Every structure is written in C-alpha cells, then in structure tokens.
Amino acid sequence: MKKKYLLFLILSIFILISADAQQAIMQFNNFFGKEDFVFKKEYTTAFGEKLSFVTLNYFISNIKLIKKNGSEYIIPQDSSYFLMKQADPSSKNIVLKNIPKGKYKSISFTIGVDSVRNTMPVEKRTGCLDVGAAARGMYWVWNSGYIFFKLEGKTVNEVDSLRKNFQYHIGGYGGYDTKTINNIKTKTLDIPVTKITKKKNPVININVDIAKFFDNITPVKIAEHRSVMWGDFSVKIADNYVNIFNIGEVVYQHE
C-alpha cells in the first residue's frame, strides 16, 4: 500500500508540475516571396533566373526570450539546438518548455551552431547534432564543422532547356586552432507584446523568405555562383540569409 501511495504521490506531483508549466512554440514557415515554399515547384529570382528546389535545411540554436522589462530567459543550452528540414514538417515546430510567465517583447536565436558545440567531442553532440544520424549531410567531415544552412536545387536554361544543379552549403564557426571563416549569425526579432502563462501558450510564427536569400544585400546569381561551400562569398550569402527571418502572426493555443 505504501508503495502504491508513493507512486500515486509522485504521479500527482508530476501532473501538477506539468500543468503549471508555461510553454511557447516557434513555428518556422518557409516561403519564396509571397508563395509557399514547395520542392520542385518553379520560381523566378529577382534576376530572372528560373529555379526549383530539392533541399532546404538550417540549424536554429541558442534561443532566448526577452521580456517587456528587458530581462531575458535563455533556453538551457543542451535543449536549444534544432534542425529545420523542409522535408520534415514536424521539425519546423520548436516547443519551448518551462518558460517563466510574463510579457515578452522579442526573441533571439542563432542561425547555425556555436563554436563551443562545434568543437565538443562527438559523443556530446546528440539529437539533431548527431553527425551519424539526424545531422547526417549537415556536417563537413573534411572541414570538421556543421553546415548551418543548406539550399540545393536546379535551374532551367530557357535557351536549351537543360536543367543544371546548384548548391549552397554555408558553415564556418571561426576555426579551432587557427582563425577561419565565421558565419555564425544571431537574429533578434521584435514581436507583439506576448503574454505567456499557464493558460496562454503562444505560437510565434517566423516567416522565412528564401527569395531574399538571392537578393537581400549581395546579388546571388546562380549563373555566376552555382556552388558555394566555403570562401569569402559564403560570408556574403550568410549576411543575406540572416535577414530572411521575420516575425509573422502570434496566436495562442489556449485562451
């Protein structure tokens, strides 16, 4: 009887804690301009290049929420790495648990994987950072680092109708022993003042406009840069894509 009572007590406490926990959801929505982003659908860049996509992946990490009074809540780092995959709709919803209740005015996150995590032993990089599983294809073995943003597809040459592949694999965390390219980017977005309580769990929509990947700051013309995996131009691309993330609608799951 004592054991059953103890189990019941533990379960009751767990339910009470869970019921009192505040949470928020970051929902990433990919677009190309005003159109939904869909694989193999044909789009046209600002430079008149017709193209379609077959891969879109990017890492989101080191998330923090900023309250109206300026104080911050930082998501525990071990629980703050996520890999967004267009091919996996469920991956584009990040559930942030145990958020302190209050009013929040902005959200901040890293696009990529920080240098500390990049250089940790492989056995300490689990979940979406597991280079042998979830992160397969998002890690450079030859360069020992994560690919922060991967975009791949095909272009159509209107003259000869030949389809040509393009690929952009952007990474670089600054180097371990020697200084190298650093494409780690941090994005802070203002949101409508958002209340998080036990009864108010907001869904914060973040809209990602892939069209701006090509023309935000530096023109990215596929005919001139069909494959970028390293080098100075990768830095310009990273400066482009940090600005493709913008706040959409904020709605509540429960009122």
DSSP symbols for the chain: -HHHHHHHHHHHHHHHHHHH--EEEEEEEEEETTEEP-TT--EE-TTS-EEEEEEEEEEEEEEEEEETTS-EEEPPGGG-EEEEETTBGGGGEEEEESPPSEEEEEEEEEES--HHHHTS-GGG--GGG-TTTTTTTSEETTTTEEEEEEEEEEEE-TTT--EEEEEEEEE-BS-SSS---B--EEEEEEEEEEEE-SS--EEEEEEEETHHHHHSSS---TTT-SEESSSHHHHHHHHHHTTSEEEEEEEES--
Predicted local distance difference test score (pLDDT) of residue 52: 96
Predicted local distance difference test score (pLDDT) of residue 199: 86
pLDDT digits (tens, 9 = 90+) for 4-13: 444 444 444 3
Q: What are phi and psi of 128, to 5 degrees?
A: -70, -10
Q: Which residues, given as ranges, of the chain have pLDDT below 50?
A: 1-20, 255
Predicted local distance difference test score (pLDDT) of residue 9: 42
**pTM across the whole model:** 0.88
Predicted local distance difference test score (pLDDT) of residue 10: 43
Spatial separation of the C-alpha atoms in residues 248 and 246, rounded to whole Å = 6
Predicted local distance difference test score (pLDDT) of residue 159: 63
Predicted local distance difference test score (pLDDT) of residue 64: 97
